[in-house]
Amino acid sequence: MTTIFGKILKGEIPCTKVYEDDLVFAFDDIMPGAPVHVLIIPKVELANLNDVDENHEKWLGRLLLAARKVAEIKGIAKSGYRCVMNNGEDAGQSVFHMHLHVLGGRGLSWPPG
């Protein structure tokens, strides 16, 4: 895994871990866009949703289950949180290792941008 997220998974770059299981890893974003901003990444190399097929179903489902757990851990499950996955440059994806943003801790406006 050659992206910065792959290096985080390998322990080559430090991070503040929030949650981990056999399929996904979650850590605090170093440039948060909200008081709570956690990134959840699959432990498999996928650039974004354009790379997935039916064989990746367990990772995709686990990303969303992990989002719920992260929200509980961070204390935002009851007040509300947003899950965002950017796919491609025009969507704002800057690291091409699939990741889910979990944002909360304040009111979030809509549309997002």
Residues labelled as active-site residues: 99
The string of DSSP codes covering 12-51 is SS---EEEE-SSEEEEE-SS-SSSEEEEEEESS---SGGG
Question: Tokens 């990444």 identify what position?
Answer: 41
